[in-house]
Amino acid sequence: MPANPFEPPQTADLDRSAPPVQAPLAVSEEALGELIATAPAARWLTRLISLSIAVGLIEAAAVMTGHWSMGVKAGRLLSTAVGTGIATLFLIVLRRLATATERLRTGDTGARAEALAAQASYFKILGILALIAAGLLILGAGAGYLVGRMAAGR
């Protein structure tokens, strides 16, 4: 029995919120074309990441062989190792994405799942690293603030 006996009878479609859409999810030709068009950008990005790794390694080698303190050398070694590791992770996922989208271009529709999975992996890695970087930045800013206050109070 309804709470208000004078309310008009409810009709299924008009008086309730819109039901969830049950139509199947499908990728249009246009969307597929746009997905394929990301391949050159992803490929260029892998080349530039490779170049960046090479520059970082040469720079680290130059610091290691130069007249720098042990602290500078150790810091440089650590930052290069971490940076190279992260860049290599991105390189692997982006290569997967670029290869899958290039296979899509040749008409291999099975590569679509691989391209979408590579996108998800890429953003997951990027997201986790962004969260870690944000945490470190906040910690660094907090530590800097505390050190500044201690120095001012002295």
Partner 1 sequence: MSDQTVQPIAPDAARLSPAEVASLRRASSWARTVAIIGLAFAVVVGLGLGVFAATSESLRSSALTGVLISILAAVIFAAVAGQQLLGYRRGIASFLAHREPALPASFRNLRTFFWAYSIYMAFSAAMGVLTLLRVL
Residues of this chain that bind partner 1 (CB under 8 A): 21, 23-35, 37-38, 41-42, 44-45, 48-49, 51-52, 55-56, 58-59, 62-63, 66, 109, 112-113, 116-117, 119-120, 122-124, 126-127, 130-131, 133-134, 137
Beta carbons within 8 Å of 34's beta carbon, 6+ residues apart: none
Nearest CB to partner 1, comparing residues 10 and 62: 62
Nearest CB to partner 1, comparing residues 138 and 146: 138
Show the tokens assigned to 110: 């099975």
The least distance separating partner 1 from the CB of residue 90, rounded to whole angstroms, comes to 10
Q: How many CB atoms lie within 10 A of CB 97?
A: 26
Nearest CB to partner 1, comparing residues 28 and 69: 28
| Closest alpha carbon to 112 in 40, 6, 55, 29 | 29
Residue holding tokens 């992996």? 121
